[in-house]
Structure 1
Amino acid sequence: MSKARLVLTALFVDRQTPAEVARRYGVHRSWVYKLRARYRAEGEAALWPRPRRPKLSPAATPASTIELIIRLRKELAESGLDAGPDTICWHLAHHHGVTVSPATVARCLTRAGLVVAAPKKRPRSSYIRFAADLPNECWQSDVTHYWLADGTDAEILSWLDDHARYALSVTAHRRVTGPIVADTFAETAAQHGIPASTLTDNAMVYTTRYSGGRGGRNAFEAQLRRLGVVQKNSRPNHPTTCGKAERFQQTMKKWLAAQPVQPTTIGQLQILLDAFADAYNHRRPHRSLPQRATPATAYAARPKATPAASRDADTHDRVRRDRIDTTGVVTLRHAGRLHHIGIGRTHARTHVLLLVQDLDIRVVNAATGELLRELTLDPTRDYQPTGRPPGPTRK
């Protein structure tokens, strides 16, 4: 039995005074008078728990602000953009002149039933976060698949600045190849400057270091060495190293899925990617940047980094075993391009060793050790002629 019912019984059944009841049950006399008046006015309802909410809440969030928060949440979600409390706070402050805390926005969204429960994820504190100090200090790149509306597969190649998360280049292709990677890098570097380093995974379009060394460096690797750009690659089976590019692709695909008309051709997909890159760089705040700045603002806030030193000493040395064909030619791949080196028909079917140091090549007979030819490769020519034999020129 509750104490309130005991107090009422003593007042109305035992006919005790409020002072006696207060002393008997150890309560304040004013509460006894208040309970007696409430029982006379409400009856048994006086025994029910009373709400403790104050009658007035002058610090409560205005209804107009709550409606604005819910409307922004709906608009951002339908556009395929981030619609979390931090992003909503940024839009409220920059576009509507309203300042509220992310916790207030989170409470409003929860009360409106707009928060979807997510499974527990790995805590952020367990990740080792890193970011470049300057724009162009490091560029990240990755390739992702995207299915067009007609069911065909396309691939999207993106270049992202590690410091500002600025989308430098986002292009659509039927299939991303090594020459496409080299060409898009050259175009992006011509527009934004040459970066100091790059960070990618170990796909063959980026590096051939896990190909066994048979083909030498591809065109992209040779291009980076020529420009003095440091090339960095993630460890196998560690996609979190390139986490910024992975997260960018997730945001991009979410935005593409929210568009009312899905692309059916590469051209239509490229139009959407250009629109996304513009919104991502200039109108979408980024949570990982200071003051929730846009990538374009962060990219222009500091001077750009440049390649620190020449990579001339970083030569690519390899030994390749081959056999001269019937026409007296042996092949060698350099910078992703196959070159034919003339040795002479007299050495047809001879097993040889190719000692390669970048463009300097020595062709040696594998059985006798005889030097058959020594040359400096001309990358502009597919066929490397044998040239004239030493001695006086015939007239």
Structure 2
Amino acid sequence: MTLRTEFVALAHRPENTIAELCRRFGISRTTAYKWLARAQANEPLSNRSKRPHVSPQKTSPAMEERVVCLRDTFPDWGGRKLSKVLRRDDHVDVAPSTVTHILRRHGRLGSPMRAPSKPYMRFEHDAPNELWQMDFKGPVHVGRVRCDPLTVLDDHSRFNLVLGTNTDMCGNTVRQWLTEAFRRYGLPRRMNMDNGSPWGVGNGDSRHLSSFTIWLVQLGIHVSFSRPFHPQTNGKDERFHRTLDVEVLRRRTFYSMEQLRQAFDHWREIYNHVRPHEALGMETPADRYTVSPRPFPEQLPTIQYSPDDLLIRVHQRGRIRLLGHPLTVSVALYGHTIAARPRPTEDGVYDLFFNHHRLQTIDMRSVR
């Protein structure tokens, strides 16, 4: 601006020529006469906006109001999710970048999130109910009552099957929540848990199985355990906890368990049926989930073993005898019958099974 003002002042002096001034200021004659014309019209010499006078494709005020209203309804959803909701519910195609610009103009966006240093590597099972992930969300304090919400998530669809407002982490409490889910959605093929209570410790030692895990095995469900100190094994359920924390728990203070339950039920409906999921191609979990073809049996089925199996009764403290040798399995198996299955290719080696679940391998050649 200083140079432009000086140029105009010098150009009005009779001893200076326009051509010489243009050469010294390093500008073209077109630019020089443009500045002189603006100065004669008492217009500012700064650059004019290149914004077009007419924008036929500009978003209408009504649409901007709709975007802002959606953002206020779902304050944690960004441009991609809101664009998907507009396309799905309002049949209006608004680009995610346009939605983001609208939110920024109206002060609905905070500081931009930093992109991850490494791209995400996602793994999922091919069909619903192939794997359910189960865990407890960290403690939620409702007044003086501690709540440890139980969460169960389908691996393929991210569909939330259980969001329980339980005040303890006992096996019987979890069993009640799962029984309701099994009756509604059927039985999964496998369930994965961590190594805490009440699941047991999945370190390959059958002595640490729990009565709750044994109940799942009796239902014909395969059980698996995350590696110790590796929560990413249940990564989808851990990510669900983060979303629950951001969209529900951080925004409100709950004064009763009934208030918390109503909030969970309301948000669970949004999460499963309304909220687009980026890992699902902006579909909702309900778009990809279907119930299991395996119904829940009201009575536990009878366990059938192979005719070649050696059937062994488990006594107190998990004691058994295999070919006269005392061994120990899970205390929770007391009163149950397990099978010792010889390996056809390894003489003297037996696999101990409870139903389909392999408890451990015993090499009788090394047993004293």
Look up the equivalent residue of 2:12 and give its one-letter code. Answer: F
Match of 1:250 in 2: 242
Match of 1:36 in 2: 36
Match of 2:60 in 1: 62
Query: Are the counterparts in 2 of residues 136 and 305 from structure 1 also a CA contact under 8 Å?
Result: no
Match of 1:345 in 2: none
**Residue 182 to residue 11, structure 1, CA distance change in 2 (3 Å):** same
Match of 1:93 among 87, 95, 109: 87
Look up the equivalent residue of 2:50 and give its one-letter code. Answer: R
CA distance in 1, matches of 2:4, 2:265: 70
Match of 2:212 in 1: 220
Query: Are the counterparts in 1 of residues 161 and 181 from structure 2 also a CA contact under 8 Å?
Result: yes
Percent identity over paired residues: 29
Match of 1:108 among 102, 106, 109: 102
1:51 aligns with 2:49: yes
What does 1:310-389 correspond to in 2, within 5 Å? 331-332=316-317, 353-354=326-327, 359-360=336-337
CA deviation profile, 1:27-61 (whole Å, cap 9, x unmatched): 5444333322222121xx54434333333333333
Match of 2:135 in 1: 142
Match of 2:11 in 1: 11
CA distance in 1, matches of 2:141, 2:292: 37
CA distance in 1, matches of 2:216, 2:189: 10
1:187 aligns with 2:172: no
SS of 1:71's partner is helix
Match of 2:260 in 1: 269
Query: Are the counterparts in 1 of residues 199 and 209 from structure 2 also a CA contact under 8 Å?
Result: no
> If the length of structure 2 is used for normalisation, what is the TM-score?
0.72
SS of 1:204's partner is coil
**Residue 360 to residue 165, structure 1, CA distance change in 2 (3 Å):** closer
CA deviation profile, 1:4-30 (whole Å, cap 9, x unmatched): 456535532135665676677675444
CA deviation profile, 1:88-112 (whole Å, cap 9, x unmatched): 2122223333322111222222233
SS of 1:173's partner is coil
Match of 2:346 in 1: none
- 281-290 or 53-62: which moved more? 53-62
1:356 deviates by 5.3
Query: Are the counterparts in 2 of residues 145 and 153 from structure 1 also a CA contact under 8 Å?
Result: no
Query: Are the counterparts in 2 of residues 226 and 311 from structure 1 also a CA contact under 8 Å?
Result: no
CA distance in 2, matches of 1:356, 1:32: 94
Match of 1:128 in 2: 121
Match of 1:232 among 224, 239, 254: 224
What does 1:73-84 correspond to in 2, within 5 Å? 73-77=71-75, 82-84=76-78
CA distance in 2, matches of 1:129, 1:311: 38
- 114-123 or 84-93: which moved more? 114-123
Query: Are the counterparts in 2 of residues 148 and 264 from structure 1 also a CA contact under 8 Å?
Result: no
CA distance in 1, matches of 2:8, 2:164: 80
1:332 deviates by 2.5
**Residue 21 to residue 254, structure 1, CA distance change in 2 (3 Å):** closer
CA distance in 2, matches of 1:58, 1:311: 73
Match of 2:363 in 1: none
Look up the equivalent residue of 1:282 and give its one-letter code. Answer: H
1:173 aligns with 2:166: yes
Query: Are the counterparts in 1 of residues 318 and 329 from structure 2 also a CA contact under 8 Å?
Result: no
Look up the equivalent residue of 1:270 and give its one-letter code. Answer: R
CA distance in 2, matches of 1:52, 1:37: 19
Q: Specify every segment of 5 or more residues in structure 2 that has no aligned partner in the other structure, as ranges.
A: 296-302, 339-353, 355-368
SS of 1:137's partner is coil
CA deviation profile, 1:284-320 (whole Å, cap 9, x unmatched): 2222212x222112113xx85879xx9968x9x99x9
Look up the equivalent residue of 2:105 and give its one-letter code. Answer: R
1:282 aligns with 2:273: yes
Look up the equivalent residue of 2:83 and give its one-letter code. Answer: C
Q: Which has the larger radius of gyration?
A: 1
CA distance in 1, matches of 2:304, 2:64: 58
CA distance in 2, matches of 1:6, 1:150: 72
Look up the equivalent residue of 1:246 and give its one-letter code. Answer: E
> If the length of structure 1 is used for normalisation, what is the TM-score?
0.67
Query: Are the counterparts in 1 of residues 202 and 226 from structure 2 also a CA contact under 8 Å?
Result: no
Query: Are the counterparts in 1 of residues 273 and 285 from structure 2 also a CA contact under 8 Å?
Result: yes
1:65 deviates by 2.5
Cα-Cα RMSD: 3.9
1:211 deviates by 10
CA distance in 2, matches of 1:51, 1:276: 46
